[in-house]
Amino acid sequence: MTQKLVVVGNGMAPGRALERLFETAPGSYEVSVFNAEPRTNYDRILLSPVLSGEKSYEEIVIHGDAWYEQNGVTLHKGKKVVSIDRQAKTVTAEDGTVAAYDKLLIATGSVPFIIPVPGKDLAGVLTYRDLDDVNAMLIAAEKGGSAVVIGGGLLGLEAAAGLKSRGMDVTVLHLMPTLMERQLDAAAGGLLKRALEDRGIRVITKANTKEILAAHDSQGATRVRSVVLDDGTEIPADIVVMAVGIRPNAVIAKDAGLETGRGILVDERLRTSDPDILAVGECVEFNGHVYGLVAPLYEQANIVANELAGVGGAGFVDKALATKLKVTGVDLFSAGDFADGEDREEIVLRDATRGVYKRLVLKDEKVIGAVMFGDTADSGWFFQLIKDGTDISEMRDTLIFGPAYAGGDHADPTAAVAALPDDAEICGCNGVCKGRIVSAISKKGLTSVDDVRTHTKASASCGTCSGLVEKLLALSLGDAYDPAAVKPMCGCTDLAHADVRRLIVAKELKTISELMQELEWKSSGGCAKCRPALNYYMLATWPGEYVDDYQSRFINERVHANIQKDGTYSVVPRMWGGITNSRELRAIADVADKFEIPTVKCTGGQRIDLLGVQKEDLPAVWADLNAAGLVSGHAYGKALRTVKTCVGTDWCRFGTQDSTGLGVRIEKFMWGSWTPAKVKMAVSGCPRNCAEATCKDVGVICVDSGYEIHFAGAAGLDIKGTEVLCHAKTEDEALQVIVALVQLYREQGHYLERIYKWAKRVGLESIQAAVVDDLQRREALFEDFVYSQRFSQSDPWSERARGAKDAHEFAPMADLTCMEAAE
Amino acid sequence: MNMMESVWVDVGALEDIPRQGARLVKTSVGCVALFRTETDEVFALDDRCPHQGGPLSQGIVHGNAVTCPLHNWVISLETGLAQGADEGEVRTFPVRSEGGRILVEASRLGHNKDAA
Ligand code: SRM
Ligand SMILES: Cc1cc2nc3c(=O)[nH]c(=O)nc-3n(C[C@H](O)[C@H](O)[C@H](O)COP(=O)(O)OP(=O)(O)OC[C@H]3O[C@@H](n4cnc5c(N)ncnc54)[C@H](O)[C@@H]3O)c2cc1C
Ligand code: SF4
Ligand code: FES
């Protein structure tokens, strides 16, 4: 008989534990999960990139709603458990929901520590723990103003950098004389302070907060106004973020009479003092230790899953931990133990001009702690020395200079990685070992760190191990691995497409020239690669505000026709869903005669192409086509191309839905929108699929019960069948999903990246989470698309046929032929 | 019209060419492309890419270069030379901009030896 497992808390630790449990012992429990947060499981570590704008919430979701459904898990969102009845074996939530358990897993994480000063409860005083905190910060940041972050540890500094990149004036208050005093000595703390100040963040050390003062607005509500230090300094603040530390959240366990210390006491199998209750994550205390980083929690998660599954395996042991400051542009890595002690020695390297600091703590000829600032390239190697407990007496003299100087096998860092055994752990956060990464690279044909991240989760969390993953790619692929291939957009910048898209939003860059100035473009005025990309990013990010820069568009999009090898152009009018009529055909025939157009061809996209039109004739050709109601088919654009259809219920004896009608509706709704690369769609009336919908960017297969929505197919340079996105019951729903999907792609796609490549990069799950599971998000994406259509859905041909736009394109500037004839 | 050794002909206003764009001037030696850079410098080149004759005037202008619309060769507007690994050269013509007007030197456009 299946037992009932109840999980309290839905953070990273139980998320991993359940994954592991479903792998090892599928179906052994009927699981319900209570989550005080009103959402599914997400990667808390990546809240900082969400705050700074480098990632969206969808990108950090670990399990979407679909995952819970697939695994038969009942998820109680937004229900906080308030009590455990160990006799009755039930838990009760705030809203009265009661759930009975055979086994209970407590995973309540930590709570942020609030310093007990007057004003701590004012509106505008926040902590930094969950998505709600981030959202509150983002709302505050929209209005600009000042933020004060109390606490100069990793969390506080990440919050400060995020708020700064969102345009706030930020001050960090730190109680001690230097930042991160546990890891860094005074000089290194000074370097870190300078790096932050260079980014425009004010740092005040030895700052002891005395109280938080309130302001009253016109409605009489009070919220924070400023922070006062004990020396009387008053710092204005529209928000205050407290990031002074966390403590295990053991309240419900303690109330239920479980043994607790600082956290819930557990043994090496994560069992509490009640045999039917286990605990995992930041809420536990093991051997006097509590935890604040993911790596050991994932380790615990695996063990607790084994315990629940009734299989044995190793117990939990304490291990060295590594952490990295996730502030773009500030490289800080620290690992291991830094406490002072008689038996410890230090090796320190400083290079003030380069802003580099490295410190190693040694004990018994072994490295037990390492800090690097400014240059963290060797951090993986040092961390390995710590984990392995390697005897370093042989290379002690050059140790600090890293593997390049250390001689022997480790001289080449790539060789050092090659020498690691298959079960060496590469990604501590996600517990991914070398063997798994290497086999994924070869089996799935992965070529970039992003690929590895999507398929194995290695380096998906804190990112510390990205360097190791790169080395594994280099080892596996040899010369075929080109790290630069995924990196800079073009020779004009070191930034990748993703960076540029993020920074356009974060820094509110609204023109190409402003962007090149601000992001320090290396060429004057960009090149033919970056300019069209930037133009698209601007258009997609700032609809209605950004003025299209035609000189940054490829000729086809500049003159709304396709250039041919002889310098003439081809003209493809839209045929909605592939439907035409005698009037349109007659107009096309007349145009072909009148302008002596040499070739008239049916395209692969169910419409007609007029090839070999002289450039000067384009406006007149368009005027005639317009007169018959024909508009531009955008056959030349990174835009919506065709929506192919089959005859569907109108005629076909197998048709299940009006596929022609839906295709026409989609095309009429979406034409004119610009996209990262071309977008082709099709709607088939039944699974016989005569419109070839299953190799398109977006395809619909009509079935009796509605519409199967497919996407991420390809049939050009690559051939790939589509993935199923979801099933829609009505035409309206189908349209809404498709529009939301394309809008998400418009927001996230890299220029020239077709939908199937984008989907591979960001992962199908994140797309499903945004446009299928999260109805609010779907709605918002839909609205954003509709808004941007207001500015792009006008026929470019008619604007030009009337001579209203770009007349200079279609006529020479001067004609000197007669002059010379006269000579 | 009687032409001296060096004759500067007014072909239009600087403003007639979009910044980072090009316009054509038809001559009896073929189409000449006039380019205007972001810094308002003006260049005149044959409108024929040395690769397969692509119309350079339809390319994207960046810095003092243009990228051919057909296969992306990059041609220097100053020298007419193909950049990077590609080899080839486009004829350039003297041109200057004065008081917002563009003047091209017409003697080579009228009776050019190569054109015969
Ligand atoms: C006209 C047409 C061929 C025809 O005579 O049927 C055509 C013509 C061109 N295709 Fe295509 N493709 C045409 C349908 C297709 C199809 C079939 C389809 O749409 O169902 C495909 C495969 C489906 C797909 O896109 O995945 C197709 C895959 C490509 C590709 C490969 C894209 C890829 O990412 O794999 C390119 C190259 C590119 O875009 O970089 C391309 C590029 C081109 C270009 C733009 C080449 C160029 O850069 O000059 C051709 C422009 C000719 C012109 O001036 O009109 N064409 N091309 C078709 C126009 C369809 C339309 O009505 O708009
Ligand atoms: C901004 C930020 C950045 C971080 N960066 C890093 C990093 O770079 N590297 C690293 O290793 N770690 C980092 N961490 C720490 C890491 O996120 C945590 O160690 C990890 O998330 C803890 O997992 P957990 O499952 O124990 O608890 P949590 O993820 O905190 O989950 C606990 C969940 O339980 C819910 N809950 C609590 N009480 C109840 C109740 N009574 N009933 C129902 N639900 C309840 C909470 O709402 C919460 O959703 C960071 C943390 C933050 C906040
Ligand atoms: S397949 Fe497409 S790109 Fe290739 S020659 Fe034909 S039309 Fe041109
Ligand atoms: S014709 Fe110019 S690059 Fe080929």
Residue type, A630: L
DSSP H/E element including A305: helix A294-309
User: How many whole angstroms from B70 Cα to the centroid of ligand 4?
Assistant: 5
β-pair partners for A344: A363
Q: Give the one of B1, B23, B63 whose C-beta lies nearest to A808's C-beta.
A: B23
Nearest CA to ligand 1 atom 5: A603
Residue B70, amino acid: L
Instruction: Give the pLDDT of residue B54.
Output: 94
Quick one: tokens of A92?
A: 């009760």
Cβ contact, residue pair A823, B3, below 8 Å: yes
With a pLDDT cut of 70, the percent of chain A lying above it is 97
A16: region left, alpha or beta (phi > 0 left; psi from -120 to 50 alpha) = alpha
Cα distance between residue A776 and residue A60, in whole Å: 17
A532 touches chain B (CB under 8 A): yes
Which phi and psi (to 5°) does residue A6 adopt?
-110, 135
**Chain A touched by B81 (CB under 8 Å):** no
The pLDDT of residue A418 is: 81
What is the A716 CA–ligand 3 centroid distance (Å)?
Answer: 10
Q: What is the overall mean pLDDT for chain B? A: 88
Count of other CB atoms within 10 angstroms of residue A213 = 17
User: Is the alpha carbon torsion for A786, A787, A790, A795 positive or negative?
Assistant: negative
C-beta atoms surrounding A56 within 10 Å:
19
Asked whether residue B2 carries a pLDDT value surpassing 50, the answer given is no
Average pLDDT, integer, range A574-579: 96
Record: contact B62-A531, CB cut-off 8 A: yes
CB A270 within 8 A of CB A300: yes
In tens, the pLDDT along A666-719 reads 999 999 999 999 999 999 999 999 999 999 999 999 999 999 999 999 998 889
In DSSP notation, A71-132 reads: TT-EEEET--EEEEETTTTEEEETTS-EEE-SEEEE---EEE-----TTTTSBTEEESSSHH
Q: What is the largest CA-CA distance in chain A?
A: 111
Sign of the torsion formed by the C-alpha atoms of A327, A328, A334 and A340? negative
Q: Which of A554, A562, A615 to mutate to test the pocket of ligand 1 (most atoms within 8 A of CB)?
A: A562
Closest ligand 4 atom number to CA of residue B73: 3
Residue of B1, B26, B34 with shortest CB distance to A817 = B26
Rounded CA-CA distance A703/A225 in Å is: 59
Any CB–CB contact under 8 A between B109 and chain A?
Answer: yes
Task: State the Cα–Cα distance between residues A340 and A171, nearest whole angstrom.
Answer: 30
Residue type, A232: G
Number of A–B residue contacts, CB under 8 Å: 104
> Which tokens sit at A772?
């299928």
Supply B56's token pair: 């350079």
Span from the CA of A517 to the centroid of ligand 4 (angstroms): 31
> Distance between CA A741 and CA A725 in Å, rounded?
9
Q: What is the pLDDT of residue B3?
A: 47
For A53-67, A483-497, A562-576, A651-665, which range has the lowest pLDDT when averaged over its residues? Answer: A483-497
Give the N- to C-terminal CA distance of chain B in Å, as an integer: 20
Confidence of residue A100 (pLDDT cuts 50, 70, 90): very high
Q: How far apart are CA A188 and CA A356, in angstroms?
A: 8
Q: Is A531 in the pocket of ligand 1 (CB under 6 A)?
A: no
**Cβ(A210)–Cβ(A119) below 8 Å:** no
Find chain A residues with C-beta within 8 A of B59's C-beta: 528, 555
Q: Where are the beta strands (DSSP E) in chain B?
A: 8-13, 21-27, 30-36, 42-46, 60-62, 65-67, 74-76, 92-93, 95-98, 101-105
Mean pLDDT score, A600-628: 95
Q: Is the pLDDT of residue B113 over 60?
A: no
What is the value of ipTM here, to two decimals? 0.70
Please tell me the predicted confidence (pLDDT) of residue A460: 75
Nearest CB to B16; choose among A551, A808, A815: A808
Rounded CA separation A518/A362 (Å): 43
Between CA A482 and CA A594 the distance in angstroms is: 53
A269-305, pLDDT tens digit by residue? 999 999 999 999 999 999 999 998 888 899 999 999 9
- Mutation target to probe the A interface, by most A beta carbons within 10 A, among B3, B10, B20, B62 is B62
Most confident listed range (A172-181, A461-470, A741-750): A741-750
3-class DSSP assignment, residue A748: helix
Are A816 and B109 inside 8 Å of each other by CB?
A: yes
Please give the model's pTM, rounded to 2 decimal places: 0.57
A207 within 8 A of A173, measured Cβ to Cβ:
yes
Query: pLDDT tens, A327-384?
Result: 777 888 888 877 777 788 888 888 777 778 888 888 888 998 888 888 887 887 888 8
Out of A551, A565, A813, the one facing B11 most closely (by C-beta) is A813
Give the C-alpha distances (Å, rounded to integers) separating A258 from A207, A276, A278, A688: 39, 11, 11, 61
Contact with chain A for residue B30, Cβ under 8 A: no
Q: Which residues of A touch B12 (CB under 8 A)?
A: 813-814
Q: Does the pLDDT of residue B40 top 90, yes or no?
A: yes
Beta bridge partners of A706: A703
What residues in A contact B62, CB-CB < 8 Å? 523, 525-528, 531
Rg, chain A, Cα only: 30
Q: Probe ligand 4: pick from B48, B52, B58, B67, max atoms within 8 Å of CB?
A: B52
Residue A722 CA, chain-centre distance (Å), reads 22
Contact A278, A300 (CB under 8 A): no
Q: How confident is the model at residue A528 (pLDDT cuts 50, 70, 90)?
A: very high
Is A620 a residue whose pLDDT tops 90? yes
Tell me the pLDDT of chain A averaged across its residues.
90
pLDDT at A484: 59
Tell me the chain B residues in contact with residue A528 when contact means C-beta distances shorter than 8 Å. 59-60, 62, 67, 72, 74
Q: Ligand 2 in contact with A47 (CB < 6 A)?
A: yes
Report the pLDDT value the prediction gives residue B4, as an integer from 0 to 100: 52
Give CA B57 to chain center in angstroms.
Answer: 8
Residue A1's pLDDT is 64
| Contact B11/A at CB under 8 A | yes
* Interhelix angle A294-309/A12-24, nearest 10 degrees: 40
Most B CBs within 10 Å, among A489, A816, A818, to test the B interface: A816
